[in-house]
Structure 1
């Protein structure tokens, strides 16, 4: 299964990041939650720090492009295979940086990808 880091995680069940975490877990994908506020979502801790996680396959973004630059180096250091830009998070500057680092940027919805078997 694809270990997924969710940036912009939330403990609010009405947020798309929460719904994505829920669906990822239901499909058996291990998740790591990083957010701007501490909390618990689906029994998982929401981390505030940028820990050095190992074996991250996918990073899925739920943060505004204006907040993304502080995560550029961190995401690249994790060396994921891909980064998913969910609707509203599209960022051509970061997309180009990822391409130069041989990380696949995908503009798509994690929830839709899971539901159609394209995750």
Structure 2
């Protein structure tokens, strides 16, 4: 099942987990869109530097720290994803509450583990 995913914090650095997850999502047949600090491509996925109005997102998976997430709060809510995944190091009680207030489910998990164990 294709779960359109937005990776926030996508990195061109092949040793970063956000880079791995883009590649893994593509390999498993998921549609991927990405936002990062630098534009470029990972496995044919264009990394945008702007907060574009993506439609029909299943998942937003976060790879930016809580301080950097603040500029994304309204954006994430506006996308109305079916869920948000907080990967290790991105845990943020302030954003949890915002998501709860907007009826957006979230998970504190590792996207790579979820994908590797067929729980994504």
TM-score when scaled to structure 2?
0.97
Q: Does 1:79 align with 2:75?
A: no
Q: Distance in 2 between matches of 1:75 and 1:97?
A: 10
Q: Does 1:35 align with 2:12?
A: no
- The count of aligned residue pairs is 119
Q: Distance in 1 between matches of 2:89 and 2:82?
A: 21
Deviation of 1:14 (Å): 0.4
Q: Distance in 2 between matches of 1:117 and 1:35?
A: 26
Q: Does 1:112 align with 2:113?
A: yes
Give 1:49's aligned residue: 50
CA RMSD of aligned residues (A): 0.6
Deviation of 1:41 (Å): 1.0
Q: Hey, which bits of structure 1, 4+ residues long, moved more than 2 A? A: none
Q: Distance in 1 between matches of 2:68 and 2:21?
A: 20
Deviation of 1:99 (Å): 1.0
Give 1:17's aligned residue: 18
Deviation of 1:100 (Å): 1.1
TM-score when scaled to structure 1?
0.98
Other structure's SS at 2:51 match: coil
